[in-house]
Every structure is written in structure tokens, then in C-alpha cells.
Amino acid sequence: MPTLYRGLWPQNVKKLAKYSVKDVDGKWRVTVGYDVGDGLRFLAVEGGETGLASLVNQIKTAVANQPGGAFYINEFRHVLVPVKNGNTSEYYYAGRAEEDFVFDFEGKPLTTRAVNGDGHALRPGEKWHGPRPGIPYVLAAGGGDIYYETPALTDADPPAVRPNMTRKVQLSKVLGDRGAVARATKPVADLRGHQGGRFYVNEHGAIFTPVSAGDGNGLDYVYCGQIDRTAWFPEPLVD
């Protein structure tokens, strides 16, 4: 039986912040929504054969007897699969994403790496061009810490959810090193300022965050940089 994931469970994120397995022309494929701009959205479909659709469906079917649906890949390349349990979702570990997805948008490659439309590396502060699946973190007010909140699990093996209890994990308490915390917060704080706020980290360790669009019609996403893995949360234990 699949085991609950002991790390961060992404919750309450927008539709474009997650991958999904869908039946496309009779075959299960990995898909991701892509914001083209001007109110247009494109459903990008995996063109390669990573095998991840099968891994995700194994979890979905074993737990809920229903294939298809959302999943995430975090900065440790852990594949996280949410499965509905009443009014909430529980997250299971499905393995590691060893290969990158191959998406196509109107004849051009579409990637979640930190590159622009011409394939050149993004610089911090530039608009995020690719799809936006990622794991949500929060830059604390004041810009001096990073934290996340997730349902609390028991210490048993396998773990279980502790009812009505959440766990807040602060980077400052995990690291106990002000210099390291400052290195971690700087890329986000440089763009979000002291008000703090949500940002995302994807499977490539790329950081991007929503900001007000210059035209006043919603949000743009900008690239902040890459996480410093020497100044970050530890990789959760997996089987």
C-alpha cells in the first residue's frame, strides 16, 4: 500500500501550479496548463515517455480506485500524488522524477527550466516564461525567514494524519544559522520586499513568485533565482 509523504503537502494552489495525468486520445499522459497571456490557456501534453503517468496512476488506483488527476514534483524531484479523502486530500510518494518532461507549444519546446522563449537563461527579476507547477513556500513578513505549513503526521511507520493538527516549519529553526537563512531569503526578498508573501519552487530548484501585472489586470510571475541547497530545508526521508 502506498505511504503518506512526510514532507510538505502542497495545498490551496492554483490550477496552473500543478501537473495532471489525463486520458489524451486513449493514452494516459502528463499534462500541464500554460498561461499564454491575453486570457488564453494552453494544455501542454507530454511528448516523451517518462513513465510518470503510470506511476501516478498506480497510486491513484491503489488508494481510490480511480486513475488520473493532479500531482506535483518538488525540488527534491519527489513525485507527490494527492488523493481525496473526504473534504481533504492526502499526499502519497510515488517515486522520483528521473527525466524531464518534453512539452510542445506551437512547434516550440516548452520547459519548466528557468529560460526565456529563446532558450536563454533567465536573470532574477525577469518574467517567468514557462509553465508554473511548483511547491508553495512563504517569505515571512519582514523578509527574514521562510516557512511552510502542512498537515501533521504521526511518527508511526507507516505514518497517519493527526486529525485537526497542522505543522509549521520555519527555515530559521531548521538551520539555526542566520547567515544561511539570509542566503535563502535574499533571492525572494529582493523582489517581494519586506511584505513577504508566497513563492514557488519547482523540480529544477527554480524560484518564481507572483507580482502585480504592470497593466493592472492580474498577476505576472517573475523569476527570483535558484534555491541554495546548502541553505534550504532537508530532503524528507522516503522509502
- What pLDDT, in 10s, does the model give residues 216-235? 556 789 999 999 999 999 99
Q: What's the mean per-residue pLDDT of the chain?
A: 93
Percentage of the chain modeled with pLDDT above 90: 80
The per-residue pLDDT for 215 is: 54
Burial class, 78, CB count within 10 angstroms (exposed 0-12 / middle 13-18 / buried 19+): buried
Separation of alpha carbons 168 and 86, rounded Å: 23
The per-residue pLDDT for 43 is: 94
In the chain, how many H helices and how many E strands? 3, 14
Q: What is the pTM of this model?
A: 0.94
The per-residue pLDDT for 217 is: 54
The per-residue pLDDT for 214 is: 59
Q: Write out the E strands in the chain.
A: 19-24, 27-37, 40-45, 69-73, 78-85, 88-96, 103-105, 108-110, 135-139, 146-153, 161-170, 197-201, 206-212, 219-226
The predicted model gives 46-70 an average pLDDT of 92
**Region of residue 37 (phi > 0: left; psi between -120 and 50: alpha; otherwise: beta):** left
Examine the pLDDT at 49 and tell me if it is beyond 80.
no
The per-residue pLDDT for 5 is: 97
The per-residue pLDDT for 216 is: 52
- From residue 7, give the alpha-carbon distance in Å to each of 103, 132, 141: 28, 20, 23
